[in-house]
Structures are given as structure tokens and as C-alpha cells.
A = this chain, B = another copy of it.
Amino acid sequence: MHKLMVLYPEPADRAAFIDYYTSTHLPKVAKLPGLQSWSYALDVAGGPEGSAPYFAVFEAEFADAQSFAAAMASPEGQEVAQDVPNYASGGAITLDFSPTGSSAS
């Protein structure tokens, strides 16, 4: 499994971000080829070091790194990437990785 993570610092206008993100950006994200699941949070809290440096977090799962790369290179992926500046007035940090994990039983 390969994961895409996007971290959003506080935007200039939180309400405008949320409105555009949920009504326009996420529907574009949902069209990404090979997308297995996605989630987001707009209520990120910080740990013991104080308030969180990020306002929102997005995560998406793909079968593997090749599927992720193909999704981002597709017309839908390019549309998603080009749409980010339309709402992310505080910037966006994108990470991708193949996690190793375990389920507690």
C-alpha cells in the first residue's frame, strides 16, 4: 500500500478553504484513478508541544507506488494538483510513502 498525505498550514481564510475544499477539491480527488480510500480532517489538534502547525490533513491510499505515480500523472491527477493553489492560501506539504503496519489484536 502506498499513501499520499497532504498537510495544510492555517489558511488566510479558514471558511473559504473549507467551502472550496469540500465542494470543489474533494470531488476532483475522488476521480483519481486507482484511489482506494481517502480521508481528511479539518480539526487537527496539536500534541504536548502546543498547537498543531497544520490546520488540516488529507490522506489517500493506493495499491502501490506505481499506482500512485500513475494517478498523479493522469489528467485527473494534474487537475487535482493544479487546483491546490485555488484554496490552500497557507500552502500545502505533500508526502508519500509505503507504510509498514500492524493491527493490534
Query: Measuring CB to CB, which residues of chain A are less than 8 angstroms from any residue of chain B?
Result: 3, 5-7, 30, 35-41, 43-49, 52-54, 57, 59, 81, 93-104
Contacts and interface: CB of A to CB of B under 8 A. Distances in A.
B36 A96 contact: no
A44 B6 CA distance: 12
A6 B54 CA distance: 12
A7 to B, nearest CB: 8
Given A36-B104, A37-B104, 6 more contacts: A36-B103, A41-B100, A45-B96, A53-B93, A54-B95, A59-B99
B99 A39 contact: yes
Nearest to A33: B104
Contacts of A99: 39-41, 57, 59
Contacts of A54: 95
